[in-house]
Structure formats: structure tokens, C-alpha cells
Amino acid sequence: MNHSGSRASLAKDFERFKRELPRDFPAHVRDAYRINLAARYLGRRIPHPVGKGSGQLSLNAGQLETDAEAGLAFAVLKTVIAQDAAGAQSMAAWAIHETKMKVERRGAGWTVTWKGRGWDRSFEDYLVLVRVGRDLTRANRLLTVPSVKYHLPRLDEPFRDDEYAFTTRALAQAWGEPPLLLEKDFSPTLAGDRLADEKQQILRWLREVPQRIRAHGDVRIAMKLMNARFDDDFQREMMEAASNADGLVVFNRLFDSKQGVAYGGPELSDRNLRVLDGPPAHPPIRPSLSGTGNIHSGRMIVEYARRGCSSVQLHTFFQLPLEAYPATDGSRTQRALHALIFDPRDGLIATLLHLAETGVLERRDGELHFLDLLPDAHRPR
């Protein structure tokens, strides 16, 4: 199919799928447009790059089932607070009940604000949710990943390894077949806490946490990095310090110290992309990257991919008022995917076709490949 034919077909699909998005839309995209949307998260191949970040939208089985039916690539569970065998939690201040989320405009984009932090129910309840996610993962319906906030000590304090041991082993046991994919959450509220006042303290966490988790199980670890209250160079220094993780989620939301809330929107993506544009202090083969922050279009997905992100995580875009989506039916997850993939101007298909037309992206074996956007796409693995 030529470019004009592809554009006409895309316009028709955009209108047709407003009523119902096919669950296996990646197969349709491959057949109709010769575009392979396959992506990666923590070394796992996924059918397309769009996943759901940890938060209020992934804390019960019903939400996961809805996402699986919609064809979402992966979902990161709400962050649980680590504990020891007796149930003690050094980071218990983060297990705060959430207030109602408020979706609002911020500049030219959207943001969601709420008070509250991590999982506030029992650890046993969280393990039940992990088993639900395990079953969806094994059925190849939805890759599901637990998220944990482990103890973070001050510079002169030791790590509480009993919390690392109990929590990691319990999650690994609930998951069963190794490896366990896991996110370590450095939440945006941490950026506003006194704990994150010292650079060397933050860098110590990033260097030491992965090995302390791995000591207690066969785990692939993605470190979800916060936007610290320092400059862009320190963000890159954080990435380098965390280079012994298997993956990095770059970067969590900005923190408004006056209002005491985290926020997203254009300011967040501007900073994240600017940091990712800069060269690392030492360019090693770094962990795989998953991008997050103000992802509201396929065009923005491509911006993150061209800076090394083999997948993306969204949260706000799954919560917009229904009238903000072009689709007329389906869950918010379906409506969001419809806009991200099929929008004729800013969707992922349209953006990849434009890159092909301008010679930026070339077909291999007759197909365009999403993963070919990555700077290291053709480096041997």
C-alpha cells in the first residue's frame, strides 16, 4: 500500500474504531499498514508500547480485567509498602489512604492531583492482586508487574534488609515461576521529603537497592526514578547510579512543594525529554528505558522512543473526561488506545508513516518496526 492509500485507510479505521477498538489491534496494524508495533518492557516482548503506570488505576482485579480486554500491553500495580515478617514498615508514612483524584488542565495538557501515596490495605490483599496479575500474564492477556517502595535509609544508616527479604520473597512466592518482574518506586512525593535533600543519599539508594532486592529472589528490577529537586545533570547522574538495574522508568512526576502534590503536563515531558537528550557522564550499555510523563499522543510516544524508551507508561491519559476522547464507546483504556494509535494526525501509526515518508525510518522485510526508533536499535544484544 502506498502512503496516500495508508492515510486513507487510517482515516477510515479511526472512524470505524471509535465505536469498538479490536482487542488485537497490533495484528490489524501489521496486516493493514505493514507496521510492527512490538515493544519491550524489562526485557519482555510486548505487542505494543503502551502500558499503565502504577497508581489508583491498577489496584483491583476489575481494573486489570478491563485493561486486558482493551488490549493494553502491560500494567504496573499500585505501589505496596515493604514490610518485615512482623508487619513493621519503615516507610509506613507512604501507606496513606488516597483522596479522590482531580483531573484538571495544566497549561496545554492535563494533570491529575490527589493526596495519598502507596497501597493502604493489607499486604495479604496485595498478594491476592499479584496472583490475579500472574494469571493474566501467564494467559498472555496482560503483562502485570508489582511495584514496591522499600526502605530508604539516611547516609549514616543501614538498609533494613529484613523488609527487603520478607517482601521480595513473599512476592516471588505469590508469582511462582521466575523471574519476577518488579518496579522499585521512587515516588514523586519522595522528592518533596527531607529524605531526598542530599544528592549522595539519593545516589547511594540507586546504587545499592537493586542488589539488595536481587539477594532475595530471581527478580528483574525496573527503578522508577523521581524528578529530584536538582538540575538536569543530576537526573543523568541518577540514571548512571542506577545502571545496575535491569530497567529504568524515566521519570516520575514533578513535585509542587507549595501545594504538596505531584503533577504532570507539558512541564514534565519537557524536562524528561531534555534530560534524555543529554549525554550520560559515561555512556555504558544502560538499562532498558520505559518513558513516562505527559504522554497524550502517538507523536509523544515516538519522542520518548527516539530517546531510548522501548515502552511507555501512562496514568493521566486514562482518566480524562469521556468527551476528551474521540472514541464514542468502550472503556477509558480502549478510548485512550484508540487515540494514541489511530489518530490520523498525531497517532502512532500516522507518526511512523510520516517518518517513513521523510526517510527517517526505513522498512525491514517490508515492515516498519516501532523498536527501530530506538537509537541502539541495531546494536547486537
Q: Cα(98)–Cα(316) distance, rounded to whole angstroms?
A: 16
pLDDT digits (tens, 9 = 90+) for 119-136: 889 999 999 999 999 999
Residues near 192 by Cβ (< 8 Å), separated by ≥ 6? 229, 255, 257, 260
Q: Give me Rg for the CA atoms of the chain.
A: 20
pLDDT of residue 155: 85
Residue 100: pLDDT over 60: no
- Residue 224 DSSP SS3: strand
Cβ-based neighbour number of residue 82 at 10 Å:
28
- Asked whether the beta carbons of 250 and 289 are under 8 A apart, the reply is yes
Q: Yes or no: say if 38 and 369 are a contact pair by the CB < 8 Å rule.
A: yes
Most confident of 38-42, 87-91, 100-104, 264-268: 38-42
Q: Which residues contact 32 (CB under 8 A, 6 or more apart)?
A: 1, 9, 13
Q: Which of 287, 276, 280 is nearest to 183 (CA)?
A: 287
Give the rounded distance of the alpha carbon of 176 from its chain centre.
23
Over residues 291-327, the pLDDT tens digits come to 999 999 999 999 999 999 999 999 999 999 999 999 9
Task: Find the Cα–Cα–Cα–Cα dihedral 243, 276, 53, 101, rounded to 10°.
Answer: 130
- Classify the C-alpha dihedral 257-200-282-188 as positive or negative: negative
Query: Does the structure show a pLDDT above 60 at 378?
Result: no
Query: How many Cβ atoms sit within 10 Å of the Cβ of residue 372?
Result: 18
Predicted local distance difference test score (pLDDT) of residue 186: 84
SS (H, E, C) 103-160: EEEECCEEEEECCCCCCCCCHHHHHHHHHHHHHHHHCCCCEEEEEEECCCCCCCCCCC
**Pairing mode of beta strands 309-314, 180-185:** unpaired
Integer angstrom CA distances of residue 315 from 53, 245, 308? 6, 23, 20
Closest CA to 237 of 277, 197, 279: 279
**Quick check: 381 pLDDT over 50?**
no
Q: How confident is the model at residue 380 (pLDDT cuts 50, 70, 90)?
A: very low
Strand (E) or helix (H) holding 291: strand 288-292
Q: Name which of 111-120, 232-241, 245-254 the model is least confident about.
A: 111-120
Strand-pair partners of 331: none
pLDDT band, very low/low/confident/very high, at 175 (cuts 50, 70, 90): very high
